[in-house]
């Protein structure tokens, strides 16, 4: 039996609650990130929890960070609850709450920029392109379709909005905000990590259409990859076998949920705003299965929670 | 971690092998963070026993447990030539109200020794977490192959069959025993507590104006504050280095268990039965392009031998601690203790990686088994021959001759073991080839091996590793 993390109560200072994650302070130098099983769609957080979703997000991030060892400095110390307890004995009684979904991290000074990399023309980028033929203010070749693959992935930074949607900004504006040197390095690392991740996932049936990275500066001032990395929540995952440019693509992970909500909307049973309609069990378990499948495909391993 | 610049020596344990969690544990920051916590525990204890330390002092200490300015410490150390004093001064700079009280009554070993014990205990806990991951992976492997017959081996010679899964339980059991040892060691490990320069607690007796009970209370308070059940009953300036030797013996025991696994796997890979994972682009040999070497297991053996070599070192250090202490433990322990933990941590990362990617080749296993099975079946054949009306001594002699001939033929290049054909061709033996073949189903030779796997996993392993789990990724092995 695995506890479904709707909210987590840990004996640590609670710093932030994100849509799906809690951030705790362990001490001056370390944070504990706990991903919950909450899910949102169309900007509305559902009432139901998606079993194992938090564990998938955390363990997938951990897996990617291990692949990137030696490529980019990162903030993870451990994503193993037993190890975390060994390093932070105060959490001893909370092993089960943390199991799978907690990550002990080094704390950094966060750069106030979302480092978005796009390999495909989708979402807000498609909207901008359709209106002005540009992306992040830069001209793109004419005649691209929705969901077209770019020859080269494009770095398109955004501001971190406290409320509402992040706003796409130009690289020049990013450089003004954080300095030209840091901006260039964040762009280089974002493109490098995305490209490596895209290639690995592509061989395993998942298109990572775009993704969002966050970076911080560690105590020594070194640029460090933080937050979640190449997960379904920080990226658009598309099933490769159904890829067809010229329209929007199905989501690898959230499609069952979106299909259900769309149907509810069309039937006039939901107005598209909170509170969301209740989700049937089949939708919850289908969504859970998608997340687990994404984990299994990318890492080649089964998430251990499944069999327990 | 970023690759190092390559200008100077760097430890391969840190650069290549050990996990982030273990590296973090043995970092200067973790150690000095413990020193500050120890100073806080001491001050709180002294305050509660009547020493006039202000709330401000305690609050300031508590607010600055981890923001250690290592630059400031280094500057003090250059002037003072004393690491503990340098840290006291740097702590006092950020907690000025506590300045007059930090380290009151204590000697350096109060922070250095107690911190070492805290770190070793946490190191054991980290290794414990890694062993559990390995046991989970091996448990899944053992269950999957619980009834796959395979040739047994004694004296590194063919012996009665066992199963692939049963063999895995032998590796697991060693680690289960190590887990028990870790748990005992963690439980039995005392802290050094508050003992003073030669262990007599004289400075604390003076601080509490001759009140023996208060000195004992302070010792207990510190033990409790840093999470230990007990403080060591008596000590010199330092806790007896026998404790280090015991801890490193526990750690070396883990390394030995993993080395036995790795050696076994190298043997199995040499006969092509089971292989460690091999990446698609991995190169086995720069010259021999076809080679697929068991390099991960070789690395486990390599590191395990290093860990084994450190165990006697700790006993030697203990044996030369003259009288109440000498300092010839210091530089040695600084290397031996962390490196034992880091190397064993690295080994367990490797082992989990190997176990998760083991490739079993049942056809190859069956092939080797088939070559030997007719010999394994000989006792049963004698019984059958007698039941069919034959003479036991006669049957034994026939089998002896046929088996020697078949064995020689195999060694001289025969494609398969033809002992049964030789016997069937002998009318006096009195059994048809079909009758004899029926005795050769390999599953008939594995005894209770599959059941032993089930019993071992269900009764011994499951209660230990729990069902909760949750994480599956393994630390990446840098090949």
Q: Quick one: average pLDDT of B261-275?
A: 97
Res A8: pLDDT:
58
Contact residues on chain B for A55, CB-CB shorter than 8 A? 470-471
The shortest CB-CB distance from B1 to any of A62, A73, A96 is to A73
Res A305: pLDDT:
59
The contacts of residue B217 (CB under 8 Å, 6+ apart) are B45, B49
The shortest CB-CB distance from A77 to any of B20, B469, B476 is to B20
Rounded-to-integer distance, Cα B206 and Cα B210, Å: 6
The active-site residue out of B2, B5, B155, B286 is B155
The radius of gyration of chain B from alpha carbons, rounded to an integer in Å, stands at 31
Rounded-to-integer distance, Cα B147 and Cα B453, Å: 9
Choose among B338, B264, B274: nearest CA to B301.
Answer: B264
Rounded-to-integer distance, Cα A257 and Cα B388, Å: 71
Q: Is B289 exposed, middle or buried (0-12, 13-18, 19+ CB in 10 A)?
A: exposed
Contact residues on chain B for A54, CB-CB shorter than 8 A? none
Distance of CA A15 to the CA centre of its chain: 19
The active-site residue out of B10, B48, B270, B285 is B285
Res B410: pLDDT:
87
Helices (H), chain A: 53-67, 81-87, 95-98, 123-132, 171-178, 180-202, 255-266, 281-299
Q: Rounded to the nearest 5°, which phi and psi values hold at B94?
A: -95, -15
Q: Quick one: average pLDDT of A25-42?
A: 92
H or E segment at A26?
strand A21-27
CB within 8 Å: A28 and B65: yes
Q: Does B133 touch chain A (CB under 8 A)?
A: yes
Confidence of residue B415 (pLDDT cuts 50, 70, 90): confident
Res B471: pLDDT:
41
Q: Are B446 and B161 in contact (CB under 8 A)?
A: yes
**Cβ count near A194 (within 10 Å):** 25
With a CB-CB cutoff of 8 Å, which residues 105-124 of chain B face chain A? 122
Q: Are A61 and A101 in contact (CB under 8 A)?
A: no
Residue B416 DSSP label = S
Indicate if B10 belongs to the active site.
Answer: no
CB within 8 Å: B468 and A301: no
Strands B157-163 and B149-154: antiparallel
Contact residues on chain A for B474, CB-CB shorter than 8 A? 66
With a CB-CB cutoff of 8 Å, which residues 319-348 of chain B face chain A? none
Binding-site residues on chain A for chain B (CB distance < 8 A):
2, 27-29, 55, 58-60, 62-63, 66-67, 69-70, 73, 76-83, 85-87, 89, 95-96, 99-101, 104, 222, 299, 301-305, 308
Q: Does B78 touch chain A (CB under 8 A)?
A: no
Q: Quick one: average pLDDT of B313-326?
A: 96
Contact residues on chain B for A58, CB-CB shorter than 8 A? 471
Q: What sign results for the dihedral spanned by CA atoms B447, B449, B455, B456?
A: positive
CB within 8 Å: B472 and A28: no
pLDDT, tens digit, for every residue of B202-249? 999 999 999 999 999 999 999 999 999 999 999 999 999 999 999 999
Work out the mean pLDDT of chain A and round it to a whole number.
90
Q: What is the 3-state secondary structure (H, E, C) of A93-105?
A: HHHHHHCCCEEEE
pLDDT, tens digit, for every residue of A83-113? 999 899 889 899 888 989 999 999 999 999 9
Confidence of residue A163 (pLDDT cuts 50, 70, 90): low
Rounded-to-integer distance, Cα A77 and Cα A103, Å: 7
Which of B471, B475, B478 has the highest number of chain A CBs within 10 A, making it the mutation to test binding with A? B471
Give the nearest chain A residue to B122 (CA atoms).
Answer: A86
Q: pLDDT at residue A6 above 60?
A: no
CB within 8 Å: B21 and A55: no
**Cβ count near B221 (within 10 Å):** 21
Looking at mean pLDDT, say which of A12-21, B63-72, B173-182, B401-410 comes out highest: B173-182
H or E segment at B34?
helix B28-48
Res A219: pLDDT:
86
* C-alpha distance from B438 to closest chain A C-alpha (Å): 38
The shortest CB-CB distance from B470 to any of A27, A81, A86 is to A81
Q: pLDDT at residue A81 above 60?
A: yes
The shortest CB-CB distance from A83 to any of B65, B126, B227 is to B126
pLDDT, tens digit, for every residue of B36-66? 999 999 999 999 999 999 999 999 999 999 8
CB within 8 Å: B472 and A82: no
Q: pLDDT at residue A251 above 80?
A: yes
Which of A30, A78, A82 has the highest number of chain B CBs within 10 A, making it the mutation to test binding with B? A82
Count chain A–chain B contacts defined by CB atoms under 8 A.
105
Confidence of residue B477 (pLDDT cuts 50, 70, 90): low
Rounded-to-integer distance, Cα B83 and Cα B89, Å: 10
Indicate if B285 belongs to the active site.
Answer: yes
Q: Are A80 and A155 in contact (CB under 8 A)?
A: no
**Terminal-to-terminal C-alpha distance of chain B:** 16
CB within 8 Å: B20 and A305: no
Rounded-to-integer distance, Cα B127 and Cα B182, Å: 9
Q: What angle do CA A293, A299, A305 make, to 5 degrees?
A: 60
ipTM tops 0.85: no
The shortest CB-CB distance from A29 to any of B66, B136, B475 is to B66
Rounded-to-integer distance, Cα B196 and Cα A263, Å: 75
CA distances B83 to B35, B108, B124, B209, B321, Å, are 11, 9, 26, 30, 21
Rounded-to-integer distance, Cα B193 and Cα A92, Å: 23
pLDDT, tens digit, for every residue of A205-225? 999 999 999 999 998 899 999
The shortest CB-CB distance from A77 to any of B21, B473, B478 is to B21
Q: Are A79 and A90 in contact (CB under 8 A)?
A: no
């Amino acid at each position: 039996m695995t506890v479904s993390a709707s909210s987590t109560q840990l004996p640590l200072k609670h710093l932030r609650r994100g849509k799906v994650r809690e951030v705790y302070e362990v001490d001056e130098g370390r944070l504990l990130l706990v991903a919950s099983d909450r899910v949102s769609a169309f900007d509305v957080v559902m009432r139901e929890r998606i079993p194992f979703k938090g564990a998938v997000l955390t363990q997938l991030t951990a897996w990617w960070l291990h692949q990137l060892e030696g490529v980019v400095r990162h903030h993870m110390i451990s994503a193993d609850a037993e190890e975390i307890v060994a390093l932070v004995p105060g959490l001893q009684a909370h092993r089960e709450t943390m199991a799978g979904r907690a990550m002990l991290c080094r704390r950094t000074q966060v750069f106030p920029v979302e480092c978005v990399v796009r390999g495909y023309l989708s979402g807000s980028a498609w909207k901008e392109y359709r209106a002005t033929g540009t992306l992040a203010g830069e001209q793109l070749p004419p005649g691209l379709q929705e969901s077209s693959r770019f020859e080269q992935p494009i770095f398109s930074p955004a501001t971190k909005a406290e409320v509402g949607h992040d706003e796409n900004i130009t690289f020049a504006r990013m450089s003004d905000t954080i300095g030209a040197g840091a901006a260039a390095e964040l762009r280089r690392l974002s493109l490098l990590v995305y490209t490596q991740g895209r290639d690995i996932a592509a061989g395993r049936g998942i298109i990572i259409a775009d993704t969002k990275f966050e970076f911080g500066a560690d105590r020594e001032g070194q640029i460090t990859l933080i937050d979640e990395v190449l997960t379904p929540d920080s990226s658009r995952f598309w099933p490769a076998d159904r890829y067809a440019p010229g329209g929007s693509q199905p989501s690898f992970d959230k499609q069952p949920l979106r299909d259900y909500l769309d149907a509810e909307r069309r039937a006039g049973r939901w107005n598209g705003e909170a509170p969301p309609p209740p989700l049937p069990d089949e939708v919850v378990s289908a969504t859970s299965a998608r997340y687990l499948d994404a984990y299994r495909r990318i890492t080649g391993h089964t998430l251990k929670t499944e069999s327990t | 971690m970023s690759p190092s610049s390559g200008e100077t020596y760097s430890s391969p344990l840190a650069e290549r092998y050990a996990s982030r969690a273990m590296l973090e544990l043995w970092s200067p920051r973790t150690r000095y963070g413990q020193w500050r916590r120890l100073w806080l525990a001491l001050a709180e204890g002294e305050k509660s026993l009547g020493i006039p330390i202000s709330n401000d002092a305690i609050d300031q200490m508590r607010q600055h447990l981890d923001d250690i300015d290592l630059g400031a410490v280094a500057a003090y150390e250059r002037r003072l030539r004393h690491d503990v004093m340098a840290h006291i001064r740097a702590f006092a700079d950020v907690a000025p109200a506590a300045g007059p009280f930090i380290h009151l009554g204590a000697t350096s070993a109060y922070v250095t020794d107690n911190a070492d014990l805290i770190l070793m205990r946490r190191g054991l806990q980290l290794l414990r977490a890694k062993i559990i991951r390995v046991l989970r992976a091996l448990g899944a492997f053992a269950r999957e192959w619980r009834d796959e017959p395979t040739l047994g081996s004694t004296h590194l010679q063919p012996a009665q069959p066992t199963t692939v899964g049963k063999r895995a339980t032998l590796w697991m059991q060693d680690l289960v025993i190590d887990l028990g040892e870790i748990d005992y060691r963690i439980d039995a490990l005392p802290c050094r507590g508050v003992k003073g320069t030669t262990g007599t607690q004289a400075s604390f007796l003076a601080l509490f104006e001759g009140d023996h009970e208060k000195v004992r209370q302070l010792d207990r308070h510190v033990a409790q504050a840093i999470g230990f059940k007990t403080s060591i009953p008596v000590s010199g300036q330092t806790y007896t280095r026998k404790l280090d030797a015991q801890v490193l013996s526990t750690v070396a025991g883990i390394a030995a268990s993993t080395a036995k696994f790795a050696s076994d796997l190298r043997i199995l890979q040499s006969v092509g039965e089971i292989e460690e994972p091999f990446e698609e682009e991995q190169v086995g040999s720069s010259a021999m392009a076809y080679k697929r070497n068991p390099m991960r297991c070789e690395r486990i053996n390599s590191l395990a031998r290093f860990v084994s070599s450190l165990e006697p070192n700790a006993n030697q250090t203990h044996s030369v601690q003259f009288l109440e202490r000498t300092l010839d433990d210091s530089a040695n322990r600084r290397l031996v203790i962390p490196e034992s933990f880091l190397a064993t941590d690295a080994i367990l990362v490797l082992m989990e990686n190997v176990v998760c990617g083991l490739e079993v080749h049942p056809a190859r296993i069956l092939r080797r088994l088939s070559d030997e099975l007719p010999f394994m079946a000989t006792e049963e054949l004698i019984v059958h021959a007698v039941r069919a009306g034959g003479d036991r001594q006669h049957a034994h002699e026939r089998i002896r001759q046929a088996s020697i001939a078949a064995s020689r033929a195999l060694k001289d290049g025969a494609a398969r073991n033809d002992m049964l054909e030789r016997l069937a061709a002998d009318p006096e033996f009195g059994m048809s080839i079909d009758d004899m073949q029926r005795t050769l189903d390999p599953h008939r030779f594995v005894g209770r091996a599959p059941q032993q796997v089930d019993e071992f996993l269900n009764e011994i392993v499951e209660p230990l590793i729990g069902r909760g789990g949750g994480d599956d990724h393994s630390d990446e092995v840098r090949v």
